[in-house]
Amino acid sequence: MARKKTVKEEKPIVLAEVREQNITETLETNYMPYSMSVIISRAIPEIDGFKPSHRKLLYTMYKMGLMSANTERRKSANVVGETMKLNPHGDAAIYETMVRLTRGNEALLHPFVDSKGSFGKQYSKMAFAASRYTEVKLEQFCQELFSGIDKDAVDFVDNYDSTTKEPKLLPVTFPNILVTPNMGIAVGMASNICSFNLAEICDTACELIRDPDFDITKTLQGPDFSTGGTILYNEAQMDSIYRYGKGSVRIRSKYRFDKSTHTIEVYEIPYTTNAETIIDRLAELVKAGKVKEISDVRDEIDLKGLKIAIDVKKGTDPDKLMAKLFKLTTLEDDFSCNFNVLISGTPMQLGVRDLILEWHAYRTECLKRQLYFELGQKNDLMHLLQGLEKILLDIDRAIAIIRNTENDADVIPNLCDGFNIDEIQAEYVADIKLRNINKEYILKKTRQIEELQKEIEELEGLLMNPRKLNKKIISQLEDIKKKYGKPRKTDILYQEPVLVEDEEEEEEEFTAYCVFTKEGYFKRISLQSIRGNDEQKLKEGDSILFEGELSSKNELIFFTDKAQAYKAKLSQFESVKASALGDFVSAKLGFDNGEKPIFFTFTRTFDARIFISFTNGKCVIIPMDSFATKTNRKKLTAAYCEKQQVASMFTLEKGEEKDVFIRSKLGRALTVNSSLIPLKATRSSQGVQVLSLKSQDEVISATPVDKISPPPLSRYKKTKIPSTGGIFNEIDMDANQTTLD
């Protein structure tokens, strides 16, 4: 029998309703909550020096009782599982957080977790063992993290599912924010905090508490890293870190040379790199023929610590070779500091001084809360003992009242009436054991009243006197320094020696067509390629600032908006076609975060001069030889006066004098000859006032007259400075043109 085929009814297709939404609304409702969550609840550390993931892990271990000296270590997997009650981000993420805090990983100067097993190393890509194999407990140093946490020193909040409580911050007794290195990448901001020596930080904090205007450079030498190395001290950068929390620290590896085996042994490297990265780079350089003195490189990390062995050929000067390797590898590297910290839920970039002062304010509040808690406990005990003291007057009467009371519920009221005490005191008296109702016991208890009275007066005096509170905080810092302070691991080289560098191989001179754009792109194009196609591809909205033929013998100098200059060779840039965007200079030359190029020039003899006009109306001329360096440095700080904003820059040839047309935002203009502006040998010179400006006005451009077509009218020409100039009118430029009429 044939089956009947059923025909399914097709359901009508319902199109989803499309609603127009402004991009600003989308950002506010969808993107902003996510951004704030990442900033506040994940990536940026708070004033106690921890991110939420660190805090949840350490507090879990504290509640597990893993801080006692006699406590056995527990399996890491067990600790990770317990931590998930507070931190629901997965066991792998929690375990990686723990690894960094351990003694075995060597990432911290003062580790928080006492570990057993393989936890990898900060200076190596070595993988850590699984959590089921390793064991952990808290270091005794963690006592300084939890001091007063059970005495209402900090606020507690619900965990993610409101089943338990966790501390909002930890009541750290020292500025942990500057002792424990921290890095976090949020949305629209990042934080990168280097570590400092605990003893130096304690000394600095003590002095700042005594005198907020104290010069912290007297006690704080500079950052201190767990991997050691040597800091090449840069006063300007260090001052920027101390004042504003932004700058970079140059760290150089330490090495020794074994003459018997012709081996260079690198035993300390920068905190920002690892042994494998260095070895891979050395292998690349040897294969490319850029380093010919090396015969072998080995990773000899063992239980004693880091060691990279570099076998060199006979006759090689080790210092000369290392000078070259410092330039070509991360054996010398930068640690970029960006001290973004959450203060009361608000992200702020603070320098070392301000961070210590913020910690002091936070620590004072924690200490006050702890002392108020202790004061409340002592007052409660005092209240009970005062009730017991009244019983001392007639013990037999108290016994009689209790014995002659028929109902249990009436015992407390009868004691209250009989001795004029309150219910709390009566409950305390009624709960005393029968064997303790004797004169000796009661006298012993009531003697505590005098001691308690003294302690209460001391606590009240401490709470009412800020100087005494500061003295207590200073005393705690001095104890921490004495108990946990360690010598510096990272040396500081205040004056960099001139290392003998290997003579660079003479490269054959070549010429290329070069293009530099406003957005910071640089192109090196072969002359053959440019003849075939001269149409330059640019990023949308970009424009060309320079284009022309350059020789490879020229030194390229890029000036940035952070008053720094970066020098480069033409050979550093790959040859591309005109249809390519080119190299992004900021990334190519390793600019600091947020740094942008504002001017490009080139030279071979360093005999030209640079004309700089600032927005405040001042101008200066600096000789190009101020940027020539004997040590072949690639980065120059304080390339011009960093206190002022640059309006325009251009070069003047040796002995050349030009008329310069200067304009302001509010319509003032003048033409002045460059001979009126003095030549300053110091790069950081502020120059001389050329255009006098009103308070809201600023210079927007300074251009050589021979670059302007048609040139400005002669009425703008001034022979004395400073000058207020004249009122600029666009019509003047048109009126200056000649016609055939």
3-state secondary structure of 465: coil
| CA-to-CA dists, residue 508 to 386, 502, 511, 571, angstroms | 98, 18, 10, 10
State phi, psi for 60 to the nearest 5 degrees: -60, -45
CATH topology of domain 37-172: Topoisomerase II; domain 5 (3.90.199)
| Residue intervals in the chain for CATH 1.10.268.10 | 176-222+353-501
Which of the residues 31, 133, 160, 271 is marked catalytic?
Answer: 133
**Calpha distance 601→701 (Å, rounded):** 18
The two tokens of residue 161 are: 């599912």
| Residue intervals in the chain for CATH 3.30.1360.40 | 254-330
Choose the weakest-confidence range: 74-78, 349-353, 587-591, 619-623.
587-591
- 478-525 confidence digits (pLDDT tens): 999 999 999 999 999 986 554 444 444 556 788 999 999 999 999 998
Confidence label for 739 from pLDDT (cuts 50, 70 and 90): very low
Q: Is the pLDDT of residue 467 over 70?
A: yes
Task: Rank 8-17, 23-32, 406-415 by mean pLDDT and report only the highest.
Answer: 406-415
Confidence label for 446 from pLDDT (cuts 50, 70 and 90): confident
- 70-96 confidence digits (pLDDT tens): 889 999 999 999 999 998 888 999 999
Percentage of the chain with pLDDT > 70? 93
Active site residue 62: no
Q: What is the pLDDT of residue 500?
A: 43
Q: What is the pLDDT of residue 12?
A: 66
| Residue intervals in the chain for CATH 3.90.199.10 | 37-172
CB within 8 A of 400, min separation 6: which ones? none
- Sheet arrangement for strand 511-517: 544-551, 511-517, 521-526, 583-584
Q: Is the pLDDT of residue 26 over 80?
A: no
Q: What is the pLDDT of residue 741?
A: 33
> In sequence order, which ranges of 485-522 are alpha helices (DSSP H)?
none
**Calpha distance 704→551 (Å, rounded):** 25
Mean pLDDT (the chain) is 88
If one looks up domain 254-330 in CATH, what number appears?
3.30.1360.40
- Cis amide leading into 487 (omega within 30): no
Q: Is the pLDDT of residue 592 over 90?
A: no
Q: What is the pLDDT of residue 449?
A: 87
- 725-734 confidence digits (pLDDT tens): 888 877 666 5
- 333-347 confidence digits (pLDDT tens): 999 999 999 998 899
**Calpha distance 388→420 (Å, rounded):** 11
Domain 176-222+353-501's class? mainly alpha
Q: What is the pLDDT of residue 502?
A: 43
CATH topology of domain 605-620+640-741: Neuraminidase (2.120.10)
Q: Is the pLDDT of residue 3 over 70?
A: no
- 359-390 confidence digits (pLDDT tens): 999 999 999 999 999 999 999 999 988 888 88
| Residue intervals in the chain for CATH 2.120.10.90 | 605-620+640-741
Q: What is the pLDDT of residue 18?
A: 65
> Residues 218-229: what's their mean pLDDT?
95
Choose the weakest-confidence range: 290-294, 364-368, 396-400, 630-634.
630-634
> Residues 241-254: what's their mean pLDDT?
94
